Structure 1
Amino acid sequence: MSGAANHNDARSLPAGANAAAPLLEIRDLRVSFSLEDGRRLTAVDGINLSVSPGEAIGIAGESGSGKSTAASAIMGLLPPNGRIDSGSIRYRGLDLVAEGAPLRRTRWREIAVVFQGSLVALNPVIKVRDQVAEAIELRLGEPANAAREKAKRLLADVGIPDKRLEAYPHQLSGGQRQRAMLAVALSCSPAVLIGDEPTTALDVIVQAQILELLDRMRHEYGLGLILITHDLAVIADMCDRVAIMYGGRIVESGSVREVFTNPRHPYTQALLGAAPDARAGRRTIKVLEGQPPDLASLPPGCHFAPRCPLADARCTEEDPPTVSYEDRVTLACHRYEPNGGALPAPVAAPYPVLELGKR
């Protein structure tokens, strides 16, 4: 690839960064929003997450689980009524929350995001090459001619031919716009790339092309990839680790193989029970009944308890602690005791689940 060859050559770290520290590390992150009636809605409730160079982690869960809010907090893109209440977001040891505005440039150079709405995210009155070049000029300080040449190479890397360089966003197909968005994201040679539902509203063939492109970019650029999606099969195919979110919390996390082969949390089991997959053959699909919780008025206890077929009185009264087992799996469920950190056997699901981890 033309752009990948020198991506990590002599990469300079921001002042105060530590090359030995995790690439991106999130600890006990809490994010809330103020409502018009004076209440606060907690959208992200104490999550822990990390990603290493070349690693892909998938974040899955229903709409309203806090996935995209977590991404917005990482990028410093919370709306005016949103705030980070506590916790840390560290890039190479630098706390992006504590440092605030002085690290805004670092955040956008080192961490990039591809959103789902390319037609909205791209400027409709600027040609695609100029949009990529503008990002290079503003964030890297490169001269205009050099920025335009680099933009041309990046767009070629993501599959935009020369004849489309002078096109406006509305003149491109949905898949081409997503490719252009990826070129903008890669323009500053980031170390971390966040894909927030990057294939929503694309047809299945274009979805596969964009996901294949993301995976190729991850390997060739050595990126740490955070992929936010509803599609568990995509995570199974692309990611090394997975975090399952519900009601603002991570209820289960671990390697894709472990979590998707031996799902332990009832919500993970429910997601896999409802997952359609043409490659799985004939099987019963179990629809998860009920609705995700109202984050502005959460009941006590486990957030999943009102929908959980295994819930008992303890589940409706006490928050389950998040326990790490053998540094392989984390669980937040009363059905699993700490057990000295030994990884417990899964509680049997009351319906068939799709064992994606066996692929």
Structure 2
Amino acid sequence: MNPLVSIRDLSVSYPGRGTASALKHINLDIHHGETVGLVGESGCGKTTLALALMGMLPPGCAWQGEISIAGQQVDFYQQAGRASARDQCAMIFQNPQTSLNPVIAIGRQIIRIIRRRGGLEKQPTQQRLAEVLSLVELPAECSKLYPHELSGGMQQRVLLAMALARQANILIADEPTTALDASTRMQILALLNRLQQQQNLAVLLISHDLSAIARVCRQVLILYQGRVVEQAPQELIFRQPRHPYSAGLLAAIPKIHRRRPDKLLSLPGDASLEAVTSGCAFAPRCSRRDVYCEQQLPPLNCALDLQQRFACFNPRPIQGGLK
């Protein structure tokens, strides 16, 4: 099956950063009905990738590579290309208050999207509004409320309803649960997973919350300083991470089920896009580095099982996977 989204050799740089790039040679496929997780520290390029896919990179950005949606290459330098991408993609952000108009009732905001999309002559607008609200488990009465009258979880449901109203095939969720409490976070993730299956959506979930990634994602990409350092099915990433950075992220998860919690672990040093080196970008923070790591950039190699790819000269052995 051909992927719905295909990204090939995508690199993005912002003005004023010299030779540092926000993204470096990214390759990614997302199929219908698939959720792909994108993980990494703040500033690693996660949101830049989402904005590139939406055609929303800031003016002055330089980028190269190819992005295809439904088999058609998108020319983001042309307004028509950007409009085509946005017709098929919807994005929800960490803070829904920045995406909702505070002085317009949510029902009217959703109806505007329904009418803008058009093609609903056979289905009354109010009926479609009730339908999308029902899909995100909001009562019809909520259509008369304003954003400030809704909880954070309800606001995120409204954004999901807007994505459905747009009839988008691709949903990009950028840290959608970060600002929510634990119980609401679980509800939103369950809803996102259910909508993805019911609507056969292609979902890109961007998060630093590894528990969220484990719950809903099929494939996972680990980003470090704009590069993919590991890519694998979710179960392999969590059971036997091969790249030291992936293992470090997983080791930092608190083990609250133990009688005496372990001391929280952290990765030494800081990640910075400005710290451009000739070798592996993670080498200054890596306990497995050698001289070769500091001189050569490791390629994204494929494991023998062809499922796991990692950019490391000294990967962790398979038997060293975290329990």
TM-score grouping bracket, smaller chain normalisation: over 0.9
**Deviations 1:254-284, CA, capped at 9 Å, x for gaps:** 1111121111100001001101243466445
Question: Hey, what does 2:3 align to over in structure 1?
Answer: 22
Q: 1:296 to 1:81 in 2, by over 3 A?
A: farther
Helix, strand or coil: the match of 1:81? Answer: coil
Please state how far the C-alpha of 1:141 moved relative to its aligned partner. 5.3
Whole-angstrom distance in 1 between the partners of 2:132 and 2:244: 43
Whole-angstrom distance in 2 between the partners of 1:103 and 1:81: 17
Q: 1:269 to 1:211 in 2, by over 3 A?
A: same
Whole-angstrom distance in 2 between the partners of 1:152 and 1:44: 40
Please state how far the C-alpha of 1:81 moved relative to its aligned partner. 3.1
Helix, strand or coil: the match of 1:193? Answer: strand
Question: Hey, what does 1:238 align to over in structure 2?
Answer: 216
Conserved 8 A contact 2:55-2:86? no
| Equivalenced residues, count | 321
Conserved 8 A contact 1:300-1:317? yes
User: Is residue 227 of structure 1 aligned with residue 199 of structure 2?
Assistant: no
Q: TM-score w.r.t. structure 1 length?
A: 0.84
Helix, strand or coil: the match of 1:106? Answer: helix
Question: What letter corresponds to residue 140 of structure 2 in structure 1?
Answer: D
User: Is residue 83 of structure 1 aligned with residue 91 of structure 2?
Assistant: no
Whole-angstrom distance in 1 between the partners of 2:40 and 2:319: 20
Question: Hey, what does 1:14 align to over in structure 2?
Answer: none
Question: Hey, what does 2:90 align to over in structure 1?
Answer: 112
The answer to which of 298-307 and 274-283 deviates more is 274-283
Question: What letter corresponds to residue 193 of structure 2 in structure 1?
Answer: D
Whole-angstrom distance in 1 between the partners of 2:263 and 2:75: 45
Helix, strand or coil: the match of 1:226? Answer: strand
Question: Hey, what does 1:61 align to over in structure 2?
Answer: 40
User: Is residue 273 of structure 1 aligned with residue 251 of structure 2?
Assistant: yes
Please state how far the C-alpha of 1:129 moved relative to its aligned partner. 0.9
Please state how far the C-alpha of 1:242 moved relative to its aligned partner. 0.6
**Deviations 1:3-23, CA, capped at 9 Å, x for gaps:** xxxxxxxxxxxxxxxxx5311
Q: TM-score w.r.t. structure 2 length?
A: 0.92
User: Is residue 288 of structure 1 aligned with residue 267 of structure 2?
Assistant: yes
How do residues 93-104 of structure 1 correspond to structure 2 at under 5 angstroms? 93-97=71-75, 100-104=78-82
How do residues 183-222 of structure 1 correspond to structure 2 at under 5 angstroms? 183-222=161-200
Whole-angstrom distance in 2 between the partners of 1:78 and 1:112: 15
Whole-angstrom distance in 1 between the partners of 2:319 and 2:23: 27
Structure 2 unaligned blocks of 5 or more: none
Question: What letter corresponds to residue 247 of structure 1 in structure 2?
Answer: Q
RMSD: 2.2
Whole-angstrom distance in 2 between the partners of 1:83 and 1:119: 30
Whole-angstrom distance in 2 between the partners of 1:149 and 1:83: 44
Whole-angstrom distance in 1 between the partners of 2:68 and 2:257: 39
**Deviations 1:167-211, CA, capped at 9 Å, x for gaps:** 111111111111001111111222211111001111111111111
User: Is residue 31 of structure 1 aligned with residue 3 of structure 2?
Assistant: no
Please state how far the C-alpha of 1:287 moved relative to its aligned partner. 1.2
Please state how far the C-alpha of 1:98 moved relative to its aligned partner. 6.1
User: Is residue 138 of structure 1 aligned with residue 119 of structure 2?
Assistant: no
Q: 1:139 to 1:41 in 2, by over 3 A?
A: farther
Aligned-residue identity in percent: 37
Please state how far the C-alpha of 1:139 moved relative to its aligned partner. 2.6
